[in-house]
Structure 1
Amino acid sequence: GAVVIGGVMEHIEEAGIHSGDSSCVVPPYLVEERHLATIRDYMRRVARALKVVGLVNGQFAIKDDTVYVIEINPRASRTVPYLSKATGVPLAKVAARVMTGKTLADLDLVDDLKVSGVFVKAPVFPFVRFPGVDTILGPEMKSTGEVMGGADTFGSAYAKAQLAAGNRLPNTGTAFISVNNDDKANVLPVARDLAELGFSLLGTSGTAAYLQAHGLDVELVFKVNEGRPHIGDRLKNREIDLVINTPLGRESFFDDRTLRHIATILGIPCVTTLTGAAATVSAIRAMRDEALDVRPLQDYHATLART
C-alpha cells in the first residue's frame, strides 16, 4: 500500500530523554541525508509489514553511523498536531478518511510532506508549581504542555519556542556553567560561543579549570560548601542570567539539584543537556542578529504551495 511520510522530526536532546520532554525540529538540521533516507525506508517497510491503515509513528536513534529502531507505534502521537500545523495538512483528518476507505491518492497525498521554514516544538514544564520535582530530564515524562515556534532559521524558531514556553533567554549577561567530567570537552564550544556573544562566564572549580586551560576567561565561583558568596548566593542576588548544568553525580558535594531549583523559581533559564545548551546559544545569537518577526501559518503554507 501507499505510505506517505508526514515528517521526520529531529530531537534536540539525545536519546534516553522521553520524547514528550524533548524539543524537536522539522526539518532535521543535523542528521545526514543518507540517515534520513534510511529512516524513511525503515518506516515504509514497517508500516507495510504491519498493514497499518491510518497513522503510525516510529522513533529511531543513530549511533556509530548506524540507524536503530527504538519503537514503532501503530497509532497517532502527540506530534500529529505539531506536524499538521507545520505542513498545513490535517493528518488526523486524513487518517480518519483513510480508515473509512479512502486512499491517499484519493486525498491528493502522493509525496512525502514538506515544510516551508523551520518549526520547533518545545515542552512546557510545571516545575514552578511543583518545586520538589527535579528539572533533570530522563525517561519519565515531566512536561504538561507543548508550544511551537516557526521561522526561516533554526535559531529563530528555537528562540520563539522558548519564549512561548515561558523561558526568557538573555541577550547578554553572565552564564554559569557546571558540567560533569564526561561533558567538559563538549561544553567547550558552547562556552566559546557564549564568550563570543559577550557573556561573562562563571564556573565551579572543575569546569572553570577546564575552560581556563583552553583559553577562556572564567570566574571561579564557590560551591555551596566551599564558602560565601557561593553559587546559590549569586543566583539569589540575580547576578546570573543563564545556567548550564549537567548532573554531577552522587560523588559531588555540590547540590546541583538545589541549584536547578533556585534557578527555576527565580525564572533563570536552566539548561540540563549539552544539546539543549547548543540550541540555546543558536537562539540567543538569532535574537541578537535577526528580528523575531510574526507570520501567520497560512503564509508559510502558501509559500510551500508555490514551490
Structure 2
Amino acid sequence: VSKATNVPLARIAVKLAAGIKLKDMDLKSWDNINHIAVKEAVLPFNKFPEESIFLSPEMKSTGEVMGISNTFGGSFRRATISAGNILPESGRVFLSVNDQDKLSAIPLARDLFEIGFEIVATSGTALELKRNGVPAESIFKVGEGRPNVVDGIKNGEIQLVINTPLGAQSRYDEEAIGRACIQKGILAITTLSGAEAAVRAIRSKRKIVVKSIQEYHKKE
C-alpha cells in the first residue's frame, strides 16, 4: 500500500505509537491518486509438483508482485503476468461453475464470447449458457468419460480455465484440472470475481508501457 500510494504507512504508525496525532502530520490526500495498483501472490506450484494445490493456513506463496497502471484491467494484467501467469487473448475457455454461480456466469461467458473466445463447458453449465443465448460446447467432467476437460488441457485445446467447484467430487476434479493447468502453464481461475477481473485485463490488451513507480507519483 505504501508503494502504491507513496504514503509511508510504517513511519506514520511509529509516530502514532509515539503519541503524535494524525492531524499534526503533513499527510497528502489519497483522492489525488490517478493510478490503480493490484497485488498478486506468487504461488510456485510448478516448482513443487507433489504439493497440494489447495490453499490452507500453511504459507505457500513465495512472494508477491504489484501491477500498476491507470486502469484496473491494465493493472490486473500486469500483476498476472508478473506472477508468471499467461492471460490468453484468444482460443478456448473451459467454464464450469457451481449451481449458485450459474446465473452470474452468463454475462461473463457472453463477454468472453464477444471478445472472440470459444467456450467449452460441463453439461450443466453448457445447458444454462445455451438457454441464455451463449454458444457453448459440452465436454466431459473428469469421471464422466473421455476425452474430458483434463485431456483437452493436456492436448493444448484449452487456453484458459474458469472453475468454481463445490462439493467433494468437484474438489477431486479441481485437483486434477489444477495439476493439468500447472503442467501446461495455463491460468486456472476459481472465483467469478477473479474471472471478471481477467476479462477486464484481456480487454486491455494494449502494448504495456513501462514506467517507474516514481513517475506515477510525480504527477500527484
Q: Same fold (TM over 0.5)?
A: yes
Q: Which has the higher contact order (CA 8 A, sep 6+)?
A: 2
Change (3 A) 1:167 1:253: closer
Counterpart in 2 of 1:295? Answer: 211
2:196 maps to a residue whose letter is A
Change (3 A) 1:149 1:262: same
Identity %: 47
SS of the residue 1:168 aligns to: coil
The answer to whether the 8 Å contact 2:165/2:171 transfers is no
Please give the alpha-carbon distance, in whole angstroms, between the structure 1 residues aligned to 2:88 and 2:28: 44
**Residue 271 (structure 1) aligned to one of 189, 200, 212:** 189
Higher helix fraction: Structure 1 or Structure 2? 2
Please say if 1:164 is aligned against 2:82. Answer: yes
Counterpart in 1 of 2:163? Answer: 245
**Residue 175 (structure 2) aligned to one of 246, 253, 257:** 257
Please give the alpha-carbon distance, in whole angstroms, between the structure 2 residues aligned to 1:184 and 1:138: 26
1:194 maps to a residue whose letter is L
Change (3 A) 1:223 1:129: same
Which runs of 5 or more structure 1 residues have no equivalent in the other structure? Answer: 1-82
Please give the alpha-carbon distance, in whole angstroms, between the structure 1 residues aligned to 2:95 and 2:30: 41
- Give RMSD over aligned pairs: 2.3
2:210 maps to a residue whose letter is V
Please give the alpha-carbon distance, in whole angstroms, between the structure 2 residues aligned to 1:183 and 1:133: 28
Please give the alpha-carbon distance, in whole angstroms, between the structure 1 residues aligned to 2:214 and 2:105: 39
**Residue 101 (structure 2) aligned to one of 163, 168, 183:** 183
Change (3 A) 1:172 1:110: closer
What does residue range 73-88 of structure 1 map to in structure 2 within 5 Å?
A: 83-88=1-6
Counterpart in 2 of 1:118? Answer: 36
Counterpart in 2 of 1:174? Answer: 92
SS of the residue 1:255 aligns to: helix
Show CA shifts across 1:77-116 (max 9, x none): xxxxxx1111112221232244345444554126557523
Q: How many residues align?
A: 220
> 4+ residue stretches of structure 1 with deviation over 6 A?
none
1:302 maps to a residue whose letter is K
Q: TM (normalized to structure 1)?
A: 0.66
Counterpart in 2 of 1:95? Answer: 13
**Residue 222 (structure 1) aligned to one of 124, 140, 152:** 140
Q: TM (normalized to structure 2)?
A: 0.89
Change (3 A) 1:284 1:138: farther
Please give the alpha-carbon distance, in whole angstroms, between the structure 1 residues aligned to 2:147 and 2:78: 35
Deviation, 1:134, is 4.5
Please give the alpha-carbon distance, in whole angstroms, between the structure 2 residues aligned to 1:221 and 1:236: 14
**Residue 110 (structure 2) aligned to one of 182, 192, 208:** 192
